[in-house]
Amino acid sequence: MAPLNADLLQVTLNESAAAPDFDNLVFGQKFSPHMLIVDWNNKTGWGVPHIKPYGPLSLSPAAPALHYASGLFEGMKAYRSADASGKIRLFRADKNMERMNRSAARAGLPTFDGDEFIKLIKALVRLDRDYVPHGEGQTLYLRPTLIGTPDTLGMGVPTEAQLFCICSPVGNYYSSGSGSKPVSLLARTDVVRAWPGGTGCYKLAANYAGATQPAMEALKHGYHQVLWLFGPDRQLTEVGAMNLFVVFRDQSADGETTNYEIATAALDDGTILPGVTRDTILSLLRAYQQGQVAIDGLPKPERITVAERKVTMDEIMDKAEKNQIAEVFGSGTAAVVCSVDKIGYEGIDISIPIQADGMGVFMRTMLREVTGRQWGAIASPEWSTVC
Amino acid sequence: MAPLNADLLQVTLNESAAAPDFDNLVFGQKFSPHMLIVDWNNKTGWGVPHIKPYGPLSLSPAAPALHYASGLFEGMKAYRSADASGKIRLFRADKNMERMNRSAARAGLPTFDGDEFIKLIKALVRLDRDYVPHGEGQTLYLRPTLIGTPDTLGMGVPTEAQLFCICSPVGNYYSSGSGSKPVSLLARTDVVRAWPGGTGCYKLAANYAGATQPAMEALKHGYHQVLWLFGPDRQLTEVGAMNLFVVFRDQSADGETTNYEIATAALDDGTILPGVTRDTILSLLRAYQQGQVAIDGLPKPERITVAERKVTMDEIMDKAEKNQIAEVFGSGTAAVVCSVDKIGYEGIDISIPIQADGMGVFMRTMLREVTGRQWGAIASPEWSTVC
């Protein structure tokens, strides 16, 4: 069984690649000229990695990827430095590879050496470097994917698979010049994203199938995204395809904020996707509390508590009424961080404080600190690698 | 927006079709020479239906079918009459079409006129009629499928889709000559197939992704399939990809059976797939109770209760100990009905009574009554249609 081996890479150039076009970038609608693809089967293991022109896959109509959702993916980005070097970086790619292998094991799909796959992704990004946008907040979004492909309807572990990566120049979810665009959420009690014993903590294709229609219905009701609740106590879990952070504030008798608690759902019950941006935010905040990193703009470390814990809709309603919610934001690879200004719940709208630029103190600071490290403006050698 | 229209069918014949080969039929590994495919998009609706040679799909590597499990399917069969007519029939195809459209609506995929799709499937079966096997219990398994196909990574409702049907000659799950092959189940408490507010009651590809690895682990532990439990009271929900029936018996002081209750999980919480075979069994038993149909071999109607209700592992263990379980069987399109002889649970094996031929009274009778109507040996004009 051959392991995945980046040294075997073969490249077929796209001779008819369109010139880069970074106008009107909508997420995931334009693609760079090349894609990476590696076949696997259960007899010989991983085959020769190929970089070839972006184009359709030839896939059996019986493939488990189509019938049994035998597939999983990652979301990554290539970031072009704003300085004269123009260096292109990946951010915490090792975390994506770890998660992708956990997902593969859960789905009965083959695992692989993540370092080899990172080498291949870097080769792809280097080849398509002209398609990494230059604008602020713009990136080349990378979509590593693994699917089960044999020509059989059997429900067993797939005997063949394809690992591939496609690349899409994407725009700025936020816009730091004119301020951020906060989102409104519809908290739904009738649909449930994930369950203990299910696959919510793995990045399987299957987790997204049930979300499409509820998200459409939220849009029709005037909300941007779904806030996924769980359990009889209606815990806040995730929002759309992002992790969720709630910042609570304690106040003195005269209404001044004394302390902050920034809370996000814990990972212990298997329903929460362990987001890389979520982990980055928690890591930065804890390093700040411990004096290991300086972060301008945050309250003093001793005034901040960082908690991975259950937050319920009762707590949200209670603390919103008492003016004890400072801000709410989502985090994910696509949007980095994204403020929430409203939560619709059982027919009422709960207003969430938002500043004039569409952000809050924690969201704005995390946006700067995370993107600074992603684009290389803030040195972060342990997290950032150059392609 | 054009509706699905079977009158527009175009056919491209497979000029290099292999001769039918019904030896060593393994489920879903051989395919008939032709497939049906219809494209849809959100601007013009349903396109021209095509029957063409079975072969790979050309699919965007960004298709939501691969990334977000935007797909669903049905399981149907074409049955060749054993009599001289050799007529080929479908069984309750309208139920499959109803369910497929419910699945499509839940997945944000386009719905269609089920009668038109049945016409197209019949045309496909007529063309590939030589690939409907002749052996007892053998059929041409039909796999209608609907997938989201646009060339975009956006998470919205797919703007393009493909409806297709492939056909696979399949063998006999049971073998009425040498008796049935009962299956053993591993009742798992650590993985959950479906939950209220999820998609368990729709036949989405997504429901199967989490089942592959647990099923493999059950095999490694010496069990054939997983018995999916739900909730703190460990309700029995489904087994593998089948619905589950448990037959309880009351007994007199001398151990003679007085009454039977045949129980299967209710459909009310959205976690149970509304199986066509499940519905057929319930319908037949209720018609028998009401004197509308005669069924040889069953206890007298007044001694049978038919229940859609919760059955927990506590009840199974308690009644197994008291010798009050008469039989357990699964039901589904692929296997029709399949007896269970053992349930592994928390380290112990619960033996389920099984007769010398590997069946029980209810399973054997339902096998005869259901397959009789499927193959046309028992007249069933409301359920059975000729291709």
A359/A339 Cα distance (integer angstroms): 6
CATH number at residue A26: 3.30.470.10
pLDDT computed for residue B176 by the predictor: 45
Q: Which residue ranges of chain B lie beneath pLDDT 50? A: 176-178
By Cβ distance, the residue of B156, B199, B213 closest to A209 is B199
Identify whether residues A85 and A29 lie together within a single domain. yes
pLDDT computed for residue B177 by the predictor: 45
Q: Is the overall model pTM greater than 0.95, yes or no? A: yes
* Residue B152 contacts A, CB cutoff 8 Å: yes
Identify whether residues B28 and B150 lie together within a single domain. yes
Identify whether residues B207 and B308 lie together within a single domain. yes
Identify whether residues B141 and B214 lie together within a single domain. no
Identify whether residues A127 and A15 lie together within a single domain. yes
Beta carbons of B71 and A71 less than 8 Å apart: no
A30/B151 Cα distance (integer angstroms): 9
Per the DSSP assignment, residues forming a β-bridge with B32 are none
- Of B172, B194, B215, the residue at which a domain comes to its end is B172
* Residue B27 contacts A, CB cutoff 8 Å: yes
Identify whether residues B143 and B201 lie together within a single domain. no
Identify whether residues A86 and A216 lie together within a single domain. no
Identify whether residues B137 and B263 lie together within a single domain. no
pLDDT computed for residue B174 by the predictor: 55
Is residue B189 situated within a structural domain? yes
Is residue B379 situated within a structural domain? no
Collect all residues with Cβ–Cβ distance below 8 Å to A77 and sequence separation of at least 6: A90, A91, A139, A140, A141, A142, A170, A333, A374
pLDDT computed for residue B115 by the predictor: 98
Range of the domain at B336: 183-373
Beta carbons of A59 and B59 less than 8 Å apart: yes
* Residue B195 contacts A, CB cutoff 8 Å: yes
For an interface test with A, which of B14, B39, B66, B234 has the most A Cβ atoms less than 10 Å from its Cβ? Answer: B66
**Strands A160-170 vs A225-230: parallel, antiparallel or unpaired:** unpaired
Identify whether residues A366 and A237 lie together within a single domain. yes
Element (H, E) at B366: helix B361-375
By Cβ distance, the residue of B26, B158, B210 closest to A206 is B210
Among residues A207, A196, A234, A208, the alpha carbon closest in space to that of A313 is found at A234
Question: Which residue is closest to A156 within chain B, CA to CA?
Answer: B212
pLDDT computed for residue A177 by the predictor: 45
Beta carbons of A204 and B69 less than 8 Å apart: yes
Identify whether residues B166 and B209 lie together within a single domain. no
CATH number at residue A192: 3.20.10.10
Contact status, residue B326 vs residue B257, Cβ threshold 8 Å: yes
Residue spans of alpha helices (H) in A169-275 = 206-209, 212-220
Is residue A37 situated within a structural domain? yes
Identify whether residues B220 and B319 lie together within a single domain. yes
Is residue B378 situated within a structural domain? no
Q: How many CB pairs under 8 A join A and B?
A: 210
The number of distinct structural domains making up chain B is: 2
pLDDT computed for residue A174 by the predictor: 56
Is residue A206 situated within a structural domain? yes
Chain segment A338-347, per-residue pLDDT in tens:
999 999 999 9
Structure tokens at B45: 């609706």
Structure tokens at A82: 């704003």
Burial class (CB in 10 A: 0-12, 13-18, 19+), B351: exposed
Among residues A59, A25, A272, the alpha carbon closest in space to that of A162 is found at A59
Handedness of CA A317, A320, A326, A328 (dihedral sign): positive
Beta carbons of B209 and A211 less than 8 Å apart: no
- Of A172, A200, A233, the residue at which a domain comes to its end is A172
pLDDT computed for residue A82 by the predictor: 85
A345/B245 Cα distance (integer angstroms): 40
pLDDT computed for residue A176 by the predictor: 45
By Cβ distance, the residue of A26, A209, A216 closest to B206 is A209
Is residue A384 situated within a structural domain? no
Chain segment A19-36, per-residue pLDDT in tens:
999 988 888 999 999 999
Q: Which residue ranges of chain A lie beneath pLDDT 50? A: 176-178
Rg (CA), chain A: 22
B298/B305 Cα distance (integer angstroms): 12
Is residue B383 situated within a structural domain? no
A293/B294 Cα distance (integer angstroms): 80
Identify whether residues B200 and B277 lie together within a single domain. yes
Collect all residues with Cβ–Cβ distance below 8 Å to A203 and sequence separation of at least 6: A72, A73, A74, A99, A100, A103, A273
* Per-position DSSP letters for B220-258, written without gaps between them: HTT-SEEEEEETTTTEEEEETTEEEEEEEEEE-TTS-EE
* Residue A54 contacts B, CB cutoff 8 Å: yes
Burial profile B201-237: b = 16 or more Cβ within 10 angstroms, e = fewer? bbbbbbbbbbbbbbbebbeeeebbbbbbbbeeebbbb
Burial profile B335-344: b = 16 or more Cβ within 10 angstroms, e = fewer? bbbbbbbbbb
- Of B141, B172, B203, the residue at which a domain comes to its end is B172
The label of the residue with tokens 């698979």 reads A161
Nearest Cα of chain B lies from the Cα of A76 at a distance, in angstroms, of 13
